[in-house]
A and B are shown apart, each in its own frame.
Chain A
């Protein structure tokens, strides 16, 4: 079945460090891929998305490229800030009509220290 695997956390970085959170997926066909972020006590916010192979999603300095050949969608940011501390979820949407749903990875906690 369809699934998403993320690197385990927590990931602890110093401010201005480079961030990579790995995400790989298993799915037939061509799913859409997403990164969501969850701040403490809040719901999920869509961070970025890519709907086809080789697409690059970007937002707020974060980027991720849809790599069909490696079934990956790694999240990167060149210089993290303390305010980026949150839980990050990789997700895919697959299917249509009566079968579509979001499938999430287990989440990766990012802690950024000043």
Chain B
């Protein structure tokens, strides 16, 4: 079966712009989480969605937001981009009842803010 698909793979944006990243989970997975990966901070949890509702949120400013659609696809949005938002953004999906059995990650979207 298809894995977790993230689009686009690469993005270059200018400071102050906004960006939208997309994630399609594995078929049947209703839990979708987002993580930010940077060399300095490592992997940090952004938020998790389940059945179109944000279920959990990490310690990121309000410029970071997301949503989930009825088909479980998810998008995250970053407004008023800052240089420090340059990172690899990873999406992960899981069967809700088996989240403690592990998440499947996509290949990520590499965002560069200039």
Cβ of B107 and Cβ of A42 under 8 Å apart?
A: yes
Chain B proximity mask over A24-52: 1 for CB below 8 Å, otherwise 0: 00000001101010000011111001010
Q: How far is the CA of A102 from the CA of B102 in the complex (A)?
A: 9
Cβ distance A55 to chain B, nearest Cβ, rounded Å: 12
Q: Would you list which residues of chain A between 92 and 114 have a CB under 8 Å from chain B?
A: 93, 96-107
Given contact pairs A89-B43, A93-B100, A106-B42, A101 touches B56 in the complex (Cβ within 8 A): yes
Name which of B92, B99, B100 has the most chain A CB atoms within 10 A of its CB: B100
Q: Are A104 and B104 in contact (CB-based, < 8 A)? A: no
Determine if B103 and A46 form an interchain contact, defined as CB atoms under 8 angstroms apart.
yes
- Residues of A close to B42: CB separation below 8 A: 104-107
Residues of A within 8 A of B (CB): 31-32, 34, 36, 42-46, 49, 51, 89, 93, 96-107
What are 27 A-B residue pairs whose CB atoms fall within 8 Å in the complex? Answer: A31-B100, A32-B100, A32-B102, A34-B102, A36-B105, A42-B108, A43-B4, A44-B90, A44-B105, A46-B102, A46-B104, A49-B101, A51-B100, A96-B99, A99-B56, A100-B48, A100-B56, A101-B33, A101-B48, A101-B56, A101-B58, A102-B43, A102-B92, A103-B45, A104-B43, A107-B42, A107-B43
Q: Are A43 and B56 in contact (CB under 8 A)?
A: no
Tell me, rounded to whole Å, the shortest Cβ–Cβ distance linking B22 to chain A: 14
Given A43-B106, A106-B42, A107-B42, answer yes or no on A100-B99 (Cβ-Cβ < 8 Å): yes
Assembled-state Cα–Cα distance A13/B111 (Å): 32
- Please indicate the chain B residues that have their CB under 8 angstroms from the CB of A99 in the complex: 56
Q: Report how many residues on chain B are interfacial, defined by Cβ distance under 8 Å.
A: 23
Question: Is there a chain A Cβ closer than 8 Å to B55's Cβ?
Answer: yes
Contact residues in A for B45 (Cβ distance below 8 Å): 101-103
Neighbour of A43 across the interface among B90, B99, B100, B101, CB < 8 A = B90
